[in-house]
Amino acid sequence: MSKALREVRQDGQATIAVPTGEVDLHHSPGLYQELVEVCKARPARLVIDLREVTYMDSSGVSTLVEVFRTVNRYGGKLVLLAPTARVRGMFEIARLDKFFVICDTQEEAMG
């Protein structure tokens, strides 16, 4: 089974997770499981780099909402980095563009 996250790396206090490709009903469960694994280390700042995500449906958005709640529960912060116009459009339709912290640059995302 292909991995949903191409890379997970540490940068100071932040953990950066890089999903790739299309996040739809087929791929969301795998992405969720991999992000849950990342959250087990309780990173103070989890940055999900969305630059390589070419498509996202509501199951992908639901995955991000679940991860947001998980990170929030242990007192961490979730930041979304540079979603493409398509993915940003999805957030806008779901009216979640103000719910998530979305940064355009990695510098900004690192706080």
Partner 1 sequence: MVPPEPTDIRIPSDPAKLCVVREAVRRTTREAGFEDPDAEQVVLAVDEALANVIKHGYGGRHDQPIDIRIEYAAEPGRIGLRFVIRDFGRTVDPRTICGRDLDDVRPGGLGVHIMRTVMDEVRYAAAEGGGTRLDMLKWNTAGGKKT
Of residues 49-78, those binding partner 1 (CB under 8 A):
55, 57-59, 61-63, 65-66
Question: What is the closest distance, in whole angstroms, from the C-beta atom of residue 20 to partner 1 in the complex?
Answer: 14
Of 60, 52, 56, nearest to 18 by C-alpha is: 52
- Whichever of 22 and 34 has its CB closer to partner 1, that residue is 22
In the complex, the smallest distance separating the C-beta of residue 93 from partner 1, rounded to whole angstroms, is: 5
Q: How many residues bind partner 1 (CB under 8 A)?
A: 23
Q: Does the protein bind partner 1 through residue 101 (CB under 8 A)?
A: no
Q: What whole-number distance in Å separates Cα of residue 13 and Cα of residue 33?
A: 22
8-28: b or e for each residue (b if 16 or more CB lie within 10 Å)? beeeeebbbbbbbeebeeebb
Which positions from 9 to 28 touch partner 1 by CB under 8 A, shown as an x/- string? -------------x-xxx--
Both tokens of 105, joined, read 């640059």
Interaction site with partner 1 (CB under 8 A): 22, 24-26, 55, 57-59, 61-63, 65-66, 85-86, 89-90, 92-96, 99
